[in-house]
Amino acid sequence: MRVSRLFFFRGFFQLLLAFSALVVSCASPPFGIDGPSVGFSVSDDGEPELSFVFENAAGMPVRSFFVEFSLSDCDGVCAFYPLDSASASVECDVPPHSGAIVSVPLSQFLSDFSGVPFSVDFVHVRKIEYDGGNVWRDPFGMGAWEAGF
């Protein structure tokens, strides 16, 4: 009886320690997102796109990242109905401790853009791949950018 109780408390403590390490590692993500907005590309085709500044706070160059995002129209209706969000893989070269303007084409997600203004609800970087093969993941959205409502 005494051994099983000790085993239980030891397992519980290890689980608690692992969870707190996960929360601490996600609490300060190795990136920043600034100024997400929806507009038209400056190229001749005038494609709708999501643009934002991706700031690499890590000491390694970023090779690519996987982003999930949600947009809504002026009535608050999600742009990707019946889905809540869309996702894309972004190839980029962002040196350590610097930023880059990133654009994600929206024509594959929106059937009709027709000049309707959309606002960005959130941008969640789920995974970052660095040069050299290192990978950072945030499956729970701890570092997601959210619009202030």
Q: What is the pLDDT of residues 78-119, one digit of tens each?
A: 888 778 899 999 999 999 999 999 999 988 888 666 667 888
Answer yes or no: are the C-beta atoms of 55 and 96 closer than 8 Å.
Answer: no
Residue 17 pLDDT exceeds 60: no
Q: Are strands 31-40 and 86-94 parallel, antiparallel or unpaired?
A: unpaired
Q: What is the pLDDT of residues 37-65, one digit of tens each?
A: 988 776 656 788 999 999 999 999 999 99
Task: Please tell me the pTM assigned to this model.
Answer: 0.76
Q: Is 114 left (phi over 0), alpha (psi -120 to 50) or beta?
A: left
Tokens 């005494």 belong to which residue? Answer: 2
Helices and strands per DSSP (H, E), number in the chain: 1, 8
CA distance 102 to 30: 16
CA distance 67 to 127: 7
pLDDT band at 21 (very low <50, low <70, confident <90, very high): very low
Answer yes or no: are the C-beta atoms of 104 and 92 closer than 8 Å.
Answer: no
Amino acid in the structure at residue 68: E
pLDDT at 65: 97
CB atoms within 10 A of CB 25: 14
Tokens of 124: 């969640």
If we measure between CA atoms, which residue out of 42, 88, 103, 50 comes closest to residue 72?
Answer: 50
